[in-house]
């Protein structure tokens, strides 16, 4: 495996980044004990459970203090801990009932130890599930009603900690049957677990039972329900819960609003999200930096950068300080729209405010730099890699190496961090998984994903998105679909994942699969965002489903999602190919009315469409309109117009535009010369065509196979012997004839009645291992029939061609 080979390889010369990482690992490992990620109670668990089971950070201090006090004063604590902990020296043959009872005694010694006791029992699950259910129901637990309830409560929390929703519901039923009321904390944890497992109806039943039998739902309960429904795509139901909170005497807090605003934004209802923002103000609930981050992010995703910047500036006006996430969102918006100067300006503003960039900041800027041609500048920019190392410096180093295509070095960094026990995050793994997927190394990407799981790092939506992207790039859409179904079952955020599969299906020409993706999004309650709509419209246009694309475009605008130039250009291009220039020109005007400025791509698409229709006068008007709007015609523009005039056999106008092209400082490319040469050959101006070839060579612009084949076709149409001489000359110029050249050559022999010569040349080229295609074989059959029908052909000639 490539990862194992990389792990074994030792670099000859340590890079500066590798040296920095060594320092980072050595310093972070010495401070691990003071990190908030450290759980002191984990020492009582088996090593296999350290990363899978741990106390919430908010409960660790209380549990540790209670345990320290009781170990000094209570022999019962010593005995209970000795019986239940696998690392206390107790034999594995200790009966499970005895372990359960010992954990129950720990829980009764101090309320702060109840979560700790539940974790110790959860470490025995799922193997001991049936034994725990039996013990907690009273078959083995004895004593007062209070003791039996304590056993049920311990079992409930243990199943919750182990993520076993069905068993937790079973215990909850037994608690209700015993006449007791479960705790709010247990029910909130159960609701979260049920939503994660996709058990929406079961979660709703638990909530209804709380409202009817107690405990009365709290603000935290409502927030858990709202979050769960939003994660499952049921944003309207979540909004309804916000409306009924008042009936329970509960006032929504900023967390309630933030969850709902985020839910509306994720599913494409940004207009409703801003209505909630206004309602939040009216209710007296002040927004936080989280609220603004969500709204700035959705504006950036929809390409509404001026509005995003205004909202960003509003934060300072209302006294809310932007944080690193706020700047990351804004920088990402600029970078994805190609405004790298503004992205870098926002980065400098971030630094000026004393905020520390993180690995996400670097990834955003690096992605934009590499996409829009600023990679060289990034390579020499050491601003993020100064003498100081950031808190997530290891992630940043991995990201930097991935962007520099040094994947083996990036893996070595991660491997070294794992071996040194340095704290790791999902970000570094995601960066390397993304890089492997981009390079087509899907096996390495999935191996890294498995390593993540072994380390107890929960994969994020981005992790799966990179894996899906890698599979789609390899054309493995069925496997990508299976991974997508896994994400659905686990309750991950799915908008981006579906968009990746949708776009890949269209690129493969699989309209059925693409349309199924689109329909599945609707069935799951996912509202397409700006990117999804753009991918859908572009895919439909690519397959020439113009009417469907136009309907999707209308639906996009009706939902308040503002199309950008890419979306407009996709549908304008499809309309032009369909010959509907009137509608295409209307869309260009519509762009301007919506505040968008048609770019050079828009103009080139329209010019090409008008040229195809032969409306060359309108092309001249459009060209003037381009220049008046500050757009400079490029090589594609001139090539399109020159080609149109050449097809119309208006050589004077074509030459006129060639001169304009040169006067404007726009250098002709090989396509320009090929267009010109094709026109000269078509008009039997072969001497001029030969001069164009000489000019190309003199200018250092290497001719390509199209150039040679065009010239060959023109000369073959004139005098075949001259074509033979030209072939020798071209071969001396390092021209490598291809199958098209061969077909041109042989077909002209046949057209001029020289079938025998065609077969002789075919035989010579076959001996030279020249590749024949179906067209070549058809030409050979044509020549053979001519020879067989020739009354002057002898039997020896006919027999010699039978081997071809």
Helix axes 670-682, 705-716, angle to 10 degrees: 10
User: What domain count does the chain have?
Assistant: 1
pLDDT tier for residue 495 given thresholds of 50, 70 and 90? confident
Residue 6 lies in a domain: yes
Q: What is the pLDDT of residue 522?
A: 81
Residue 67 lies in a domain: yes
Q: Residue 89 region, left (φ>0) first, then alpha (ψ -120 to 50), else beta?
A: left
DSSP 439: T
Residue by residue, DSSP assigns 410-462 as: HHHHHHHHHHHT----HHHHHHHHHHHHHTT-HHHHHHHHHHHHHTTPPP-HH
Residue 123 lies in a domain: yes
- Picking from 54, 20, 18, the residue whose alpha carbon sits closest to that of residue 38 is 54
Q: What is the mean pLDDT of residues 425-439?
A: 89
Q: What is the mean pLDDT of residues 166-184?
A: 91
pTM above 0.75, yes or no: no
Give the tens place of pLDDT for each residue, 100-134: 988 888 888 888 889 888 988 888 888 889 999 99
pLDDT tier for residue 518 given thresholds of 50, 70 and 90? very high
Element (H, E) at 431: helix 426-438
Q: What is the pLDDT of residue 61?
A: 85
Residue 763 lies in a domain: no
- Picking from 725, 769, 778, the residue whose alpha carbon sits closest to that of residue 750 is 778
Residue 321 lies in a domain: no
Q: Among 23-32, 514-523, 592-601, 747-756, whose mean pLDDT is lowest?
A: 23-32
Helix (H, G, I), strand (E, B) or coil at 771: coil
Give the tens place of pLDDT for each residue, 649-680: 888 888 888 888 888 888 888 888 888 888 88
Give the tens place of pLDDT for each residue, 674-730: 888 888 887 777 777 777 777 777 777 777 777 777 777 776 665 555 656 666 665
Q: What is the pLDDT of residue 17?
A: 39
Give the range of the structural domain holding residue 60, as residue numbers without chain letter.
Answer: 1-21+56-82+96-127+148-180
Q: What is the pLDDT of residue 605?
A: 94
Alpha helices, DSSP H only, in 543-634?
546-558, 565-577, 581-593, 600-613, 616-628
Q: What is the mean pLDDT of residues 234-254?
A: 91
């Amino acid at each position: 495996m490539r990862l194992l080979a990389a792990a074994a390889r030792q670099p000859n010369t340590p890079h500066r980044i590798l040296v920095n990482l060594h320092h980072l690992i050595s310093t972070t490992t010495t401070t691990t004990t003071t990190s908030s990620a450290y759980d002191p109670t984990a020492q009582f668990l088996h090593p296999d459970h350290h990363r899978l089971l741990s106390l919430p950070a908010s409960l660790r201090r209380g549990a540790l203090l209670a345990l320290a006090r009781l170990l000094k004063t209570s022999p019962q604590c010593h005995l209970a801990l000795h019986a239940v902990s696998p690392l206390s020296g107790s034999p594995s043959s200790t009966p499970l009932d005895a372990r359960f009872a010992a954990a129950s005694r720990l829980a009764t010694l101090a309320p702060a130890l109840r979560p700790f006791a539940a974790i110790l029992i959860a470490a025995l699950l799922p193997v001991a599930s049936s034994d725990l259910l039996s013990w907690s129901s009273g078959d083995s637990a004895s004593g007062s009603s209070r003791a039996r309830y304590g056993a049920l409560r311990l079992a409930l929390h243990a199943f919750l900690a182990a993520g076993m929703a069905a068993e937790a519901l079973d215990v909850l039923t037994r608690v209700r049957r015993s006449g007791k009321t479960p705790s709010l904390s247990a029910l909130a944890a159960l609701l979260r677990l049920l939503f994660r497992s996709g058990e929406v109806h079961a979660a709703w039943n638990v909530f209804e039972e709380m409202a009817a039998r107690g405990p009365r739902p709290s603000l935290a309960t409502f927030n858990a329900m709202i979050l769960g429904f939003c994660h499952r795509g049921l944003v309207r139901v979540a909004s309804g819960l916000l409306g009924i909170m008042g009936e329970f005497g509960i006032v929504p807090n900023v967390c309630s609003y933030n969850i709902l605003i985020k839910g509306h934004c994720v599913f494409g209802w940004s207009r409703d999200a801003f209505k909630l923002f206004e309602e939040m103000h009216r209710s007296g609930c002040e927004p936080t930096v989280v609220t603004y981050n969500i709204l700035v992010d959705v504006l950036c995703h929809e390409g509404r950068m001026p509005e995003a910047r205004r909202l960003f500036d509003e934060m300072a006006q209302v006294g809310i300080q932007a944080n690193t996430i706020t700047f990351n969102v804004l920088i990402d918006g600029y970078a994805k729209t190609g405004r790298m100067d503004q992205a870098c300006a926002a980065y400098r503003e971030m630094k000026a405010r004393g905020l520390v960039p993180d690995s996400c900041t670097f990834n955003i800027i690096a992605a934009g730099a590499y996409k829009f041609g600023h990679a060289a500048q990034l390579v020499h920019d050491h601003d993020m890699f100064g003498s100081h190392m950031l808190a997530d410096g290891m992630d940043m180093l991995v990201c930097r190496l991935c962007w520099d295509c040094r994947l083996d070095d990036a893996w070595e960094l991660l491997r070294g961090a794992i071996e040194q026990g340095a704290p790791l995050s999902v970000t570094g793994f995601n960066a390397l998984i993304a890089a492997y997927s981009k390079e087509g190394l899907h096996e390495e990407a999935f191996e890294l994903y498995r390593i993540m799981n072994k380390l107890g790092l929960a994969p994020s939506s981005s992790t799966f998105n990179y894996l899906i992207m890698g599979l789609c790039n390899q054309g493995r859409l069925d496997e990508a679909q299976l991974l997508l179904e896994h994400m659905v079952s686990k309750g991950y955020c799915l908008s981006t994942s579906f968009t990746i599969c949708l776009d890949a299906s269209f690129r493969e020409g699989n309209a059925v699969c693409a349309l199924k993706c689109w329909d599945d999004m609707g069935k799951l309650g996912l509202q397409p965002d700006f990117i999804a709509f753009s991918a859908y419209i572009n895919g439909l246009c690519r397959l020439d489903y113009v009417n469907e694309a136009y309907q999707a475009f209308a639906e996009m605008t009706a939902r308040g999602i503002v199309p950008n130039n890419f979306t407009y250009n996709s549908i304008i291009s499809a309309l032009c190919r369909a010959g509907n220039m009137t509608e295409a020109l209307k869309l260009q005007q519509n762009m301007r009315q919506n505040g968008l400025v048609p770019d050079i791509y828009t103009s080139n698409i329209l010019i090409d469409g008008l040229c195809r229709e032969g409306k060359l006068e309108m092309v001249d008007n459009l060209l003037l309109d381009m220049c008046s709007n500050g757009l400079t015609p490029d090589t594609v523009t001139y090539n399109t117009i020159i080609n149109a005039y050449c097809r119309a056999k208006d050589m004077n106008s074509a030459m006129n535009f060639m001169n304009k092209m040169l006067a404007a400082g726009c250098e002709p490319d090989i396509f320009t010369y090929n267009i010109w040469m094709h026109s000269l050959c078509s008009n039997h101006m072969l001497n001029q065509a030969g001069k164009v070839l000489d000019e190309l060579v003199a200018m250092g612009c290497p001719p390509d196979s199209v150039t040679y084949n065009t010239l060959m076709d023109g000369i073959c149409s004139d005098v075949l012997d001259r074509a033979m001489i030209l072939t020798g000359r071209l071969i001396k110029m390092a021209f490598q004839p291809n199958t098209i050249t061969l077909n041109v050559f042989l077909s002209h022999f046949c057209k001029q009645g020289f079938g025998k010569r065609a077969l002789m040349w075919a035989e010579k080229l076959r001996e030279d291992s020249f590749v024949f295609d179906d067209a070549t074989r058809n030409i050979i059959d044509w020549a053979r029939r001519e020879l067989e029908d020739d009354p002057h052909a002898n039997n020896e000639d006919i027999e010699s061609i039978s081997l071809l």
